[in-house]
Structure 1
Amino acid sequence: MYKAVFSDFDGTLLTSDHKISLRTLAAITRLAERGVPFVPISARSPLGILPYWKQLQTNNVLVAFSGALILDHRLQPIYSVQIDAADMEKLNRVFKDFAHLAVNYYVNDDCFSNDLANPWVKLEAQITKIPIEAAQADKIYPAHKVQIIGEPHEIIHIEALLKEKFPHLSICRSHQSYLEVMNSAATKGNAVRFLEKYFGLKTEEVIAFGDNFNDLDMLEHAGLGVAMGNAPEEIKQAANRVTAGNNEDGLALILEEVFPA
């Protein structure tokens, strides 16, 4: 029997217009009534998650920055890992050769960007609804997450470069145009492992939903890993199940099956 559900955010819990469908909300509400934790695990910052967390009304933990920061039901940190200063300094030197890409530094609820006029930065602010400030030149930010945004071919190129130069960091695409760089301990799979101990659960009692490469270790770890219909083929192949897409209530379909009314 499954006793907890962990879900990615964009492309999984949320529809393409960044909403939680009524059917999905109803399915999650039934979980809460049964005392089954539903935990959102997002690449977003806490501020980007919070409006949806309040809408869900599950009064449970939330995972931000793909596992770099975990907050309890009182929104107090119970786990936090950041990129150390030496690595941040080296990363910044690399980013100077990619000034045309958007580079955002996330620290707790704050976000700083290399170029506020970059269309990708404006889009990120529009989606997450959080303020983004200009990054100070040569300042070392103790980031929970560095986010690089650009055209897919540019992201693939810088991903390969950064993985070569920084094999000890967690570097993964959350979308074809979004690359995340974090402390190596910051993965969604590690967040699930931490919360299994926090809730007193076994791995086989956990369900995880995801749609992209930064969800892979979480899907592979969970007792039941479910890929969304809109996920890349590699993610579908790694999952135990594939459900409908995020615009077709794919998450709700599985929850209704596993936790029938």
Structure 2
Amino acid sequence: MKYKLIALDVDGTLLNDDHQLSAENKQAIAEVTRLGGLIVLCTGRSPQNSIPIMEEMGLAGYVLGHNGAATVRVEDREVLHIYGLDARGLDPYIEYCRARDIHYDVNTAFDMYVDNVENLTQEANFMYEHFRVTPASLPAWEDFREPIVKFTVFTQSDILDEAQREWGTWTQQYNILRSGEFFVDFMHPEASKGNALKHLAAQLAIPQTEVLSIGNYYNDISMLTYAGLGVAMDNSPVEVKAAADAITGTNNGNGVRDALVKYCLS
């Protein structure tokens, strides 16, 4: 099998729009694994809510969570590599969000914090329940004992569009990524799915030409362009498709299965 390391995005790629793993995708992944391929999840999600997907597929190995900001080993949940960001530099963005009632959260590798957990909006509560995450109230920066890896803003897409336009005029010290229609993520400048995948491949002595990645959104572009073969889902924006080497089916049509069959199992 040509590709030894296969990186899969989760939402919009591996999972369908109901955030379910299809039997077809699961079966193809099992066959790739049986033939010696190493499947890793490379996702904007936290390891906390992506490791259970690995376990559902019966896989050990690695999760590259928070858009690559934290690489975690599944078996023992050890954090192997991390890109910690400068938390105090987030203060102007937090002030911007508070002034406009825009929701945000702050993430370490495994934990999530919000401004006031008792006053979450109905939309935020639904989102966290949907993604199976339980946030805590945000402490002072000096009380954190672990590196902060990601700051996420969550609101309506038009409000996010305007916020991104304004933030684009500020001095840049973060990698600011649109990770979904309603999400913008702030990370260390070197944190990306592509860099995390590159680092893991080097650690495993797997050449770039033997890396396959599959994704569907702007935060996937770095791993699509790093991999020896980058495959975009058919439900991807046009810019993501343009960055990829190939296009597969949609996330609702088992596009991951189709790509694995074509490039790994044929």
TM-score normalised by length of structure 2: 0.91
Counterpart of 1:83?
Answer: 85
Who is 1:114 aligned against?
Answer: 115
**Cα deviation 1:157-183 (Å, max 9, x = unaligned):** 112222332423110111111111111
Aligned partners of 2:47 and 2:109 also within 8 Å: yes
Aligned equivalents of 1:206, 1:223: Cα separation in 2 = 5
What amino acid sits opposite 2:93 in the alignment?
Answer: L
Mapping 1:149-168, distance limit 5 Å: 149-168=154-173
* Change beyond 3 A, Cα 1:140–1:16: farther
CA distance in 2, matches of 1:246, 1:139: 42
Identity of matched residues, %: 24
Structure 1 stretches of 4+ moved >3 Å: 136-142
TM-score by length of 1: 0.93
**How far does residue 53 in structure 1 lie from its aligned partner after superposition?**
1.3
Asked whether the 8 Å contact 1:102–1:120 carries over to 2, the reply is no
Q: Given the superposition, is the C-alpha separation of residues 137 and 86 from structure 1 closer, same or farther in structure 2, using an over 3 Å criterion?
A: closer
Looking at structure 2, the residues matched to 119 and 101 of structure 1 have their Cα atoms a distance apart, in angstroms, of 13
What letter is aligned with 1:127? H
The 8 Å contact of residues 40 and 63 in structure 2, kept in 1 or not, is answered as yes
| Structure 2 residue identity aligned to 1:35 | G
TM-aligned CA deviation for residue 192 of structure 1: 1.0
Out of 177, 200, 205, which is 1:200 matched to? 205
**What is the match of residue 24 of structure 1?**
25
Per-residue displacement from partner, 1:56-100 (whole Å, max 9, x unpaired)? 2221111110111001243211101122133133433333333x2
Structure 1 position 221, deviation (Å): 1.4
| Structure 1 residue 48, shift from structure 2 partner | 1.0
Select the residue among 166, 171, 189 that pairs with 1:184: 189
Contact 2:106 2:152 in 1 (8 A): yes
Q: d(CA) in 2 for partners of 1:85 and 1:172?
A: 17
Which of 135, 138, 141 matches 2:138?
Answer: 135
- C-alpha distance in 2, partners of 1:158/1:128? 24
- Once residues 122 and 192 of structure 1 are traced to their aligned partners in structure 2, the CA distance between those partners, rounded to angstroms, is 32
Q: Per-residue deviation at 1:125? A: 0.9
- RMSD, matched Cα: 1.8
Residue pair 1:229, 1:244 contacting (<8 A) in 2 also = yes
**8 Å contact from structure 1 (residues 120, 149) kept in 2:** no
Pairwise mapping of residues 37-116 of structure 1 onto structure 2 (< 5 A)?
A: 37-73=38-74, 74-98=76-100, 100-114=101-115, 116=119
